[in-house]
Structure 1
Amino acid sequence: MFRSPTSAAADPRWPRPDARLARYANRDAGQSSRATADYTLADSAADGIAVLDALGWPAAHVVGVSLGGMIAQVMATRQAERVLSLTSLSSAPDHLQRWNLRKVRTLVKFAALHRKRPKDPESAGEHLVRIYRIVGSPGHPHDEDWIRDVGRQTFHTRTDFAAFRRQGKAMYALGDRRAELAGVRAPTLVITGEADPVQPVSAGRATADAIPGAKFVTYAGMGHDLPRPLWPDLIGEIDAIANA
């Protein structure tokens, strides 16, 4: 999420030096607390609104990837006055999953990797590299040294299998959200990788089709990640929709 304008120091990586950027980990992820019961995307969207409240921001441009994209969509439908623009990346508008053989194989491998928690930072680094080899962008080279380092640094806050399962149930709980998405009035950008093995182009297209006036962008060779070579293009697209 980001808000503009502000007097915050300029960030040379962002094309709008007057923007303030806020990143947060969803419940059951990163340094956020682990849930003690099942929840829904609506609960996770309420968490996002709570972050805005804590920052004192009346509204923001909301960006979400994968499950985060679904959460961002729910924020835009149920707390529309708080969402200035919506960017949904590598996501879907429903629980239907759009199964194909490649997706089944990918999810089986992905779930198997999450069942066993790495025992130390070094194994966590290798674990994250294996994940990227399964879901990452085949058309863009991976910086595996950087990925390995991220895995080491996040060893103590990584998502365990129980949390992974709860996040999956949250995605299913609200069912098909396309009727709700038809009510979104915020400028919307939908981005999907053409080589995404988890949320294929059809999932992104369904999201864009459900939201009036949404812009749909795909990238060749992009998987279920945000490859570094595409960062300038992705940032430019997000900036453009925020200025729409």
Structure 2
Amino acid sequence: MPKAYVNGVDIEYVAAGDPDGPPLLLIPGLGLQLTVWEPGFVDLLCERGFFVIRLDNRDSGLSTKLKGEPDLASVLGGDFSSVPYSIGEMADDAAVLLAHLGLEQVHVVGMSLGGMIAQSLAIRYPQLVASVCSIMSTTGDPSVGAPTDAAAGVLLQPAGSSREEAIVRSVEIGRTIGSPKYPAGDDVLRERAAAAYDRSYSPEGLARQLAAILSATDRTPALGHLRLPFLVIHGEDDPLVTLSGGEATARAVPGASLLTFPGMGHDLPPQLWDEITTAIAANTVTPSLA
């Protein structure tokens, strides 16, 4: 897969579909790699005519791993001095990558942290972003989208010190935050976890990304200035970014649409891929308010 040196870091990316089709950027979530967008999901978007670009955010996958260990306890207490970078800088990575690829305007889809990056990308580069789909994400307002105690607890457990420990921990996370109506079997969760570990394992990078989330400012006022097709997708049973985060995102953006799914948690169940990709495609042809 190709790599581009942008914004001071190497960003790994991969493209699929018709290069002459409308470009669509997929941004993964916290600690996740571009492979979280599974081939079947990507294929559905390609079948709808899109030129689909996936990237590894900085500090995940095969992109640059930075240095420095954030003091998450201090960050939670409001001291951001150990935070190495912001969500805005992660959005800058995406913007410079798109410029590197010669793309002047793209549709952007992001999940969880990726949704936050997609929102920031639209705020910082309004001429670059043609539409946004923010999936299982939130605005940065700490009063909405807060995780349940169980979800927060499993996410903050110590990282695995071996391959097997890391896989077991990942399976536990998947069980806790996944979709109750569409549960993935432990064999599927384990296979995904093993593949992710073997491609790249960086718990320190996850901590740095988490520090960027925890130190983010509320994007609500800036989201109110957006004038573009904006779709919010959220699981009604998401324990990690609870539904109020998606609802607040939709309220913040003028003309935004909100699509929620009963029984969906903090993942993308294959049973919903067709409906989700159909909604993404429809959003890209929604008239702008501008």
Q: Tell me the TM-score normalised to structure 2 length.
A: 0.75
Match of 1:105 in 2: 150
**Residue 3 of structure 1: how far off its partner (Å):** 9.3
Q: How does 1:75-154 map to 2 (within 5 A)?
A: 75-96=121-142, 98=144, 103-112=148-157, 115-120=158-163, 122-154=164-196
Find the counterpart in structure 1 of residue 49 from structure 2: 18
CA-CA distance at 1:2 after TM superposition: 9.0
Structure 1 position 106, deviation (Å)? 1.5
SS at 2:45 equivalent: coil
Give the partner amino acid of 1:183: H
What residue number does 1:35 align with? Answer: 66
SS in 2 for 1:64: strand
CA deviation string 1:81-137 (max 9, x = no partner)? 11110000110001405377x71231112110xx222512x4443332211101100
Assess if the C-alpha contact under 8 Å between 2:171 and 2:189 holds in 1: yes
Indicate how the Cα distance of structure 1 residues 36 and 118 shifts in structure 2: closer, same or farther if over 3 A, else same.
closer
The answer as to whether partners of 1:182 and 1:211 remain within 8 angstroms in 2 is: yes
Alpha-carbon distance between aligned partners in 2 of 1:118 and 1:146, rounded to the nearest angstrom: 22
SS at match of 1:231: helix
For residues 195-206 of structure 1, the aligned pairs below 5 Å read 195-206=237-248
Alpha-carbon offset, residue 32 of structure 1 = 1.3
User: Deviations for 1:114-165, whole angstroms, at most 9, x for unmatched residues?
Assistant: x222512x444333221110110011131432322221122141331x3222
Q: Specify the alignment match of 1:73 in structure 2.
A: 119
Note if 1:178 corresponds to 2:192. no
Q: Any stretches of 5+ residues in structure 2 without a counterpart?
A: 1-14, 23-41, 69-83
Quickly say closer, same or farther: Cα 1:105–1:145, change in 2 above 3 A: closer
Asked if 1:231 is matched to 2:277, the reply is no
> 2: CA distance between counterparts of 1:145 and 1:235?
26
Q: Given residue 6 of structure 1, which amino acid in structure 2 is its aligned partner?
A: D
The alignment partner of 1:46 has SS state of helix
Report the CA distance between 1:15 and its aligned residue.
Answer: 6.4
TM-score, structure 1 length as denominator?
0.88
Q: How far does the alpha carbon of each residue in 1:184-237 deviate from its partner, in whole angstroms, 9 at most, with x for none?
A: 112000011000001111111100000000000110000011111111111011
Give the alignment's Cα RMSD to 1 decimal. 2.4
Distance 2:161 2:149 in 1: 24
| Rounded Cα–Cα distance in structure 1 between residues aligned with 2:258 and 2:238 | 15
Identity %: 33
| 1:6 alignment counterpart | 20
Offset at residue 40 of structure 1 (A): 0.4
Distance 1:172 1:71 in 2: 13
3-state SS, counterpart of residue 208 of structure 2: helix
For 2:110 and 2:131, how far apart are their aligned partners in 1? Answer: 11
Letter paired with 1:217: L
Bigger strand fraction = 2
Q: Unaligned 5+ residue runs, structure 1?
A: none
Deviation at 1:16, TM superposition (A): 4.4
Choose the corresponding residue for 2:108, options 44, 62, 68: 62
- Please tell me the residue identity of whatever aligns with 1:60: V
In terms of fraction of residues, the more helix-rich structure is 1
